[in-house]
Amino acid sequence: MSEAADSRIPVTVLTGYLGAGKTTLLNRILSENHGTRYAVIVNEFGEIGIDNDLLVESDEEVYEMNNGCICCTVRGDLIRTVENLMKRKGAFDAIIVETTGVADPAPVAQTFFMDDDVRAAAKLDAVVAVVDARHVQQRLKDTEEAEDQIAFSDVILLNKTDLVSAEELAGVEAAIRKINPYAKIHHTERCQIAINDVLDRGAFELERILDLDPEFLKKAEHAHDHECGPDCDHDHDHGHHHHGHDHKHDHSHPDHECGPDCDHDHGQEDTHSVKSFSFTAGDLNANVFFDWINQVTQIQGPNILRMKGILSFKDDPQRYVVQGIHMIVEGDHQRDWKEDEKRESRIVFIGRELDGAALKTAFEACVAE
Amino acid sequence: MPVIAPLDIDGFVVEASFLGDVAAFASGEGSVFFAGGPETQTPVHKNGLLCATPTQDGKALVTGGGDGRICKISADGSVEELAVQPRKWIDIIATGPQDSVAFASGRTAWVRLKTGELKEFQLQRAFAGLTFAPKGMRLAAARYDGVTLFWVNAAGDPQELSWKGAHSGICYSPDGKYLVTTMQENALHGWRLADSQDMRMTGYPGKVKSVSWSVKNKYLATSGAQAAILWPFMGKSGPMGQAPLELGVRADSMVSVVSCHPTEDMLAIGYQDGMVMAVRFHDNAEVVLRRPGAGPVSALAWDKKGNRLAFGTEEGAAGVITLVD
């Protein structure tokens, strides 16, 4: 982005199902002595125990910006609250938005890209999801929102780890990784986490797409390599126990160590419709790429939750970084390719009902002649 | 040459207004500042001042704040608490006939009558703007997908005017014939109330945040472009099919606030870069009243006779400009 010397207020969005521990995290952030002053926008005051001048209750008012397109939904109340906060610019350093447990995170995130005034005043720093290690598997079966929240996140607190066994935890983490292989996952009890791991992440800054997590795309590739297809020769017979929620799977596997990036179906029925795809290619033809990315985000926007990429355009000495939420796409030149750096183009999609094979073919068709 | 008497405000100037001869400036930090009165400053709200508007008799300023209080501030610096809604942010306020005050937070609005009695009104979606009709006790509320008109004292169902989209600011034409809203998209919407005829006013590069009616109801001046856009309302069908006036065109800054002169066909324009200019309608003659600086102009107000103009900016610069012939 070219807004020079960015004086915009960073915004952190907290999502997570009811009871996952969002309020605990919020209280922790507010009570810690870190010298940063937060304006906090909550749906209801509830159990926030901290007396904060800038604690605002705001009813979630989702509305459509243009022609009723579902991709262009924003939070009207946030637009207004941010405008109001700007009348007290000197009173706080950052904004935290807590969403309700069932909220779709997209309108919240989109508000910070689609409204000109909000965009001028504030920048989205990261979407943080608090996930209850004990109940999330059930939530994922019951609802789409839980899945969306995970898919959308840059940082995930896998909370209440003390309430599950190591095996269960590994299973939960694998389920999360399957939806979103790129988020930073932190294991926590009662949301105990260093504040720096949650706030000031810069996850939406194009310049930091990679720097934030050098493993980001490597992991993607790795996970993708392990995506099991119909002719995969792994042993999928992990034992399909069906005795309630007490999944004590035997994860010992003769030839495969299951790690956090493991993509196997660990005996859960695969109810997740959100998947991620990562592709790599060489130098791209910029014109062909832009035509394609605009088209694909217009047509498949409703199904694309997040998109990130680092691209190498032919005859262009600079790396180009791009990111998107649904139909919103933004990109910019980042910096010169380093001499010892391998020039290549990599892109990642997280979405629902995406046709990975078609995306791959189309992306590869952008390669420069 | 115009003469500026400057004033430093410790915050975003939310509203400027003349209370008789005294200029009052409401600061986002919570105080009201005065120029030309016995007091220079009076603290009003603890958690920020979010909105302010003068009473219809022009003698006081009514403010709403982050502390849930609605207060009436007089030119002598006295503060009267009119109502309080604990833990609510009061960010919309309107003043009506007989000292009535309307205010809203979220999906609830209240009208406080002179007697102190509070009437409550609800909407399915949040209140986004409030105004009183020029005649009678009628409250108009801008909301998502249109406008709702409530009778304040009489029973009876509210009237709904529908137009898809998010409506925010709202005003009546002074003759009461038209109702106009500013929208989330870069447009205005209007209704001719006699027959609910829709009027769409579009073509803005930015959101319209400031509107002002010119004397005798002739034009509606608006911000949201690199010039002030004035829609003609003289004819029977309002601005439909007519081109608006464009006054004070700048190549390098957007108009942030407009305020029509109370007696002449003249407009004060505030810009994003802090410049203030006065422009005459008929020949587009321009006079620069303030040079750029100290943030976007956020408030403008004429005194009753139109001899003095109060201004304020987002970064706390303010003052009174006296126009000398």
> A9-204 has which CATH code?
3.40.50.300
pLDDT band at residue A68 under the 50/70/90 scheme = low
For chain A, the straight-line distance linking the first and the last C-alpha, in angstroms and rounded, comes to 29
**Which of A2-16, B170-184, B222-236, B270-284 has the weakest average pLDDT?**
A2-16
Contacts of B185 in chain A (CB under 8 A): 65-66
Determine contact: A54 vs chain B, CB below 8 A. yes
Full residue range of the structural domain in which residue B299 is found: 210-324
Distance CA A343, CA A310 (A): 10
| Whether pLDDT at A271 is above 80 | no
Every domain range in chain A assigned CATH 3.40.50.300 = 9-204
- Out of A193-202, A352-361, B68-77, B93-102, pick the least confident: A193-202
Q: Which one of B32, B49, B50, B208 would you mutate to disrupt binding with A, by most A Cβ within 10 Å of its Cβ?
A: B50
ipTM: 0.90
Rounded-to-integer distance, Cα B106 and Cα B295, Å: 29
| Mean pLDDT comparison of A53-62, A94-103, A148-157, highest-scoring range | A148-157
Q: Per residue in A148-161, is it b (16+ CB within 10 Å) or e — as a string?
A: bbbbbbbbbbbbbb
- Answer whether residue B64 is part of any domain: no
Of these ranges, A129-143, A145-159, B140-154, the one predicted with the greatest mean pLDDT is B140-154
Q: How far apart are CA B306 and CA B300, in angstroms?
A: 12
Specify the higher pLDDT residue, A322 or B270. B270
User: Rounded mean pLDDT of chain A?
Assistant: 77
Cα Rg, chain A, nearest whole Å: 21
Average pLDDT along chain B: 94
Higher-pLDDT residue of A246, A49: A49
Contact A68 B128 (CB under 8 A): no
**Which range scores top for mean pLDDT: A106-110, A128-132, B129-133, B242-246?**
B129-133
Band of pLDDT at residue A90, cut at 50, 70 and 90: confident
Q: For chains A and B, what is the number of CB pairs under 8 angstroms?
A: 69
pLDDT band at A272 (very low <50, low <70, confident <90, very high): low
Band (pLDDT 50/70/90 cuts) for residue A209 is low
pLDDT at A101 exceeding the cut of 80: no
Provide the percentage of residues in chain A whose pLDDT is more than 90: 21
Q: What single string gives the DSSP state of each residue in B218-254?
A: -EEEE-SSSSEEEEE--STTTTTT-PPEEES--SS--
Read off the pTM. 0.84
Give A 95-134 residues with CB within 8 A of chain B: 115-117
Mean of pLDDT values over B242-261 = 95
With CA atoms as reference, report the closest residue to B297 among B264, B253, B262: B253
Question: Is pLDDT above 60 for B115?
Answer: yes
Is B49 close to A87, i.e. CB distance below 8 A?
Answer: yes
Which CATH number is B238's domain given?
2.130.10.10
In a domain, B1, yes or no: no
Question: Tokens for B186?
Answer: 């870069």
| Residue A182 banded pLDDT, cuts 50, 70, 90 | confident
**Residue of B87, B88, B126 lying closest to A77 (CB–CB):** B126
Residue B50: its chain A contacts at CB < 8 A? 84, 87
Q: Does A243 score more than 60 pLDDT?
A: no
Structural domain count of chain B: 1
How many angstroms separate the CA of residue B119 from the nearest CA in chain A? Answer: 22
B241 within domain boundaries: yes
Distance from the Cα of B7 to chain A's closest Cα (Å) equals 18
Q: Report, as an integer, the average pLDDT of B29-46.
A: 93
- Taking the C-alpha atoms of residue A98 and residue A22, their distance in angstroms, rounded to an integer, is 8
Residue A249 clears pLDDT 60, i.e. is over it: no
**Mean pLDDT of all residues in A248-274:** 44
Outline where B79-148 has alpha helix (H): none
- Residue A70's pLDDT is what? 63
Is the pLDDT at A220 greater than 60? The verdict is no
Q: How far is CA B20 from the centre of its chain?
A: 18
pLDDT value at residue B58: 94
Asked, for residue B228, whether it belongs to a domain, the answer is yes
A51 touches chain B (CB under 8 A): no
Most confident of A249-263, A317-331, B163-177: B163-177
| Residue B187 falls inside a structural domain | no
Q: Do the chains contact at A87 and B164, CB–CB below 8 Å?
A: no
Specify the CATH superfamily of domain A274-365. Answer: CobW-like, C-terminal domain (3.30.1220.10)
Residues 6+ apart with CB under 8 A from B9: B25, B27, B33, B312, B316, B317, B318
Query: Lowest-pLDDT range, A51-65, A343-357, B109-123, B232-246?
Result: A51-65
Q: What local confidence, expressed as pLDDT, does residue A232 receive?
A: 36
Is B74 inside a domain boundary?
no
Task: Evaluate if residue B48 carries a pLDDT over 50.
Answer: yes
What average pLDDT score do residues A320-336 get? 86
Asked if the Cβ–Cβ distance from B29 to A88 is below 8 Å, we say yes
The CATH 3.30.1220.10 portion of chain A extends over: 274-365
Q: Assess if residue B199 is contained within a domain.
A: no
Structure tokens at B320: 């009174």
| Residue B44 falls inside a structural domain | no
If one compares A187 and A226, the residue with the highest pLDDT of the two is A187
Among A34-43, A276-285, B26-35, B304-313, which is the least confidently predicted range? A34-43
Instruction: Give the integer Cα–Cα distance in Å for A10 and A200.
Output: 7
